[in-house]
Amino acid sequence: MTRAHIVGAAGYAALEAIRLLRAHPAIELATVESASHAGEPVGDHAPALRSFERTFAAPGSALDACETGDVVILGGRAEESRGLAGAFLAKGARVVDLSDAFRPQRSAVDGVAAVYGFVERYRDALRAARLVANPGCYPTATLLALWPLAEFAAGIEQLIVDAKSGVTGAGRTPRASSLFAEVDGDVRAYGLDGHRHQPEIEQEMAAFGVVAPLTFTPHVVPLRRGMLVDAYAVFARAPRATDVRAAYARRYASSPFVRLLGEEAPSLHAVAGTNGAELHVSVRGNVVRALCAIDNLGKGAAGQAVQALNVMLGLPEETALAGEALAV
């Protein structure tokens, strides 16, 4: 069994990682650490984990307990991850960071370069990774929607992404904009002057060879969890629909969590509580429309982190992630 430590474990994504790893046959949950809730029962902060009879450990506990061969999930803020990752790597652990600390330009820590945790593209690199920068939820859904179009990169003139996220995407730190009374009954666009995830999306699209300008508009919708991305690639000349469809089928032929739909639209109910992604692609004139639905805490955060860990440990990607959707 590989031991796993979770630092910053009281956030939404980290609690979801605990839920998933409890059922993992090859990973043993070791330290579950939280600076804000040290000494408190984990179940008091997550009803789904009330049967998990553990308390949050104090800061520093995970580092003290860490040994060579362990894995660590960092679930705190970026500045905390920058300070901790090197210490865990020095102990011989492998680290998956849920923040955006190491996503830009493949940051390195003490000579250890971060591998971007978009598993569908970087499987080979993840097998030997020691530090993984887990993608954000908006970039994950957007890249899943647009990555296959790398085969047609030269013809793309404009990318337009309309994205909608449940309120858990804003994290668990209390703020007025995330209150029920603020979001209920509303669909709110934000980050219109530049969202923090846009550079991450542009960086990865450029790595795919797609350098067309991107217009990205994120929205908060009155849902706990879930994300729907409507992505549009505007071409100089219309690509053939059969070629586009074939490109998506090739890209995701070996991806167990990506479902390429036919005429149906992706559904948040179909992916709730899972690591799944539903995709629909169509061509209308010179525009390719790609829709992607994921769970922002699943494939958009904790599920993807566990998927990356499975690859790093040489396990089937589906291990502990094959559950059915929570919604009916």
Q: Is the pLDDT of residue 267 over 60?
A: yes
Q: Are residues 67 and 118 in the same domain?
A: yes
Domain extent at residue 58 = 2-135+300-312
Of the residues 27, 72, 93, 137, only one is catalytic, namely 137
Q: Is the pLDDT of residue 327 over 70?
A: no
Residue 113 in any domain: the answer is: yes
In this predicted model, which residue has the larger pLDDT, 302 or 48?
302
Q: Is the pLDDT of residue 8 over 90?
A: yes
In this prediction, residue 174 carries a pLDDT of 62
User: Residue 25 and residue 211: Cα distance in Å, rounded?
Assistant: 42
Q: Are residues 76 and 122 in the same domain?
A: yes
Q: Is the pLDDT of residue 128 over 80?
A: yes
Q: Are residues 149 and 193 in the same domain?
A: yes
Predicted TM-score (pTM) of this structure: 0.95
Count the domains in the chain.
Answer: 2
In this prediction, residue 197 carries a pLDDT of 82
> Mean pLDDT over residues 20-24, rounded?
96
Q: Is the pLDDT of residue 323 over 80?
A: no
Average pLDDT, the chain: 94
In this predicted model, which residue has the larger pLDDT, 325 or 49?
49
Q: How far is CA 320 from CA 17, 89, 137, 184, in A?
A: 11, 25, 20, 33
| Catalytic residue check, 66 | no
Residue 208 in any domain: the answer is: yes
In this prediction, residue 73 carries a pLDDT of 98
Q: Are residues 124 and 152 in the same domain?
A: no
Q: Which residues have C-beta within 8 Å of that of residue 151, sequence separation ≥ 6? A: 247
